[in-house]
Amino acid sequence: MTSPHVKRVFKYRFPPTEAQAAELSRTFGCVRKVYNLALAARTEAWTLRSERVNYHATSAMPTAWKKTEELAYLNDVSSVPLQQALRHLQTAFTNFFGKRAKYPRFKSRKKSRRSAEYTTSAFRFRDGNLTPAKVADPLDIVWSRPLPEGATPSTVIASQDPAGRWFVSLPCEDPAVVPLPAIDAAVGVDAGLDHLLALSTGEKIANPRHERRDRTRLAKARRELSREAKGDGANRAKARRKVARIHARIADRRRDHLHKLTTRLVRENQTIVSEDLTVRNLLKNGRLARAISDAAWREFRSMLEYKAQWYGREVIVVDRWFPSSKLCSACGRLQEKMPLHVRTWTYACGVTHDRDVNAARNTLAAGLAVSACGAGVRPQRSTPGGQPTMKQELLRREP
């Protein structure tokens, strides 16, 4: 069950004044510089002396750097975002040593995310007015939705995306997020490209193909960018922002659609069963990589999982090798071959199947069996006469 107080991040846009933009941009640069210096120091200590430098050792480094003539400009910004950058570096190393991520990389001025994190001591939030440290006036935030009543942000993250848009993120506890009443409904989900999702109920959800809608405009903007001289010129920066704005519009539409879809599935079903897709490996297919990226299966699953946790629902993931498309959902027999171009087929039992809906129904049956008895789902190599089918075997395992 979900905790009665879920911490959510509320993200808002704001148009900064020239002075605010200059101060925040200066802070972003100093955050990047401190992160890179600390990473270089930790890497050098390990390479030359086999010495591990932790956060407590690096936390004192900015004080020494500020005393040098070369890095004296670090005194011009708030010290809190600089310390937060060191904490983020420590998290990156923790993930690396835990084998959850690669070795931390240096932040690039052009490619890295421009952001700064302020803790409680480094910002003032009163009556809807937010003022980060060293910023003269409150930010003119566009309150597209209200914060939870009585909520106070624990931290403030100011950022700017490649399209030039400014954002402020406010993590707050939201008491309105509580588990939904339990219902007796379950659904199987099969992800695809022709249709974004096929449900075990027989419903098919269309694939909006957000990237394809703007592909011509994006290609034109990229050609204009490629014609600009490389470097830090104003025209190249303008062309780069134009490309970034198109990408941002595509990503915003995709995210909005996935939010609406996952919220609907979580509200209407107690149990949601999907297939465990290895998107990273699927992207190696050169012909389908663009379409797979546009479908955003990984983002869909991530949204589904955290919303299910919020609202007291259950998400079951079936093993990727389970032959959901080859298995007849009516009689349970396994088809030997099922090429991708075959979208409908009739099995020996006389039932005609839609490939995707049939896969969703088999996924649901396998997921419910796994949930009941904890069994793993693996493909059956053959179904000679006299041996049970995979569906019968799964049902046999149920208590």
DSSP notation for 121-171: GGEEEETTEEEETT-SS----B-SSPPPTT---SEEEEEE-TTS-EEEEEE
What's the predicted TM-score (pTM) here?
A: 0.83
Known catalytic residue: 275? Answer: yes
Q: Please name the residues in contact with 385: beta carbons below 8 A apart, sequence gap of 6 or more.
A: none
pLDDT of residue 10: 94
Known catalytic residue: 190? Answer: yes
Over the stretch 297-336, which tens digit does the pLDDT of each residue have? 999 999 999 999 999 999 999 887 777 777 776 676 676 6
Separate counts of helices (H) and strands (E) for the chain: 12, 13
What gap in Å lies between CA 81 and CA 119, rounded to an integer? 8
What tokens were used for 170?
């406010």
What gap in Å lies between CA 162 and CA 237, rounded to an integer? 10
What gap in Å lies between CA 62 and CA 47, rounded to an integer? 22
Backbone angles phi, psi at 12, to 5 degrees: -135, 155
What tokens were used for 51?
């010495």
Q: Which of 356, 43, 48, 20 is nearest to 200 (CA)?
A: 356
pLDDT of residue 161: 95
pLDDT of residue 29: 96
Tell me the HSE value of 292 on the side-chain side, using a 13 A CA sphere.
14
CB 174 within 8 A of CB 6: yes
pLDDT of residue 362: 86
Higher pLDDT, 234 or 278: 234
User: How is the chain split into domains, by residue range?
Assistant: 6-174, 186-397
Known catalytic residue: 356? Answer: yes
Task: Point out the catalytic residue in the list 190, 228, 294, 314.
Answer: 190
Average per-residue pLDDT in the chain? 86
The shares of helix, strand and coil residues in the chain, as percent rounded to the nearest 5, are: 45, 20, 40
Confidence of residue 159 (pLDDT cuts 50, 70, 90): very high
Confidence of residue 371 (pLDDT cuts 50, 70, 90): low
pLDDT of residue 342: 65
pLDDT of residue 264: 95
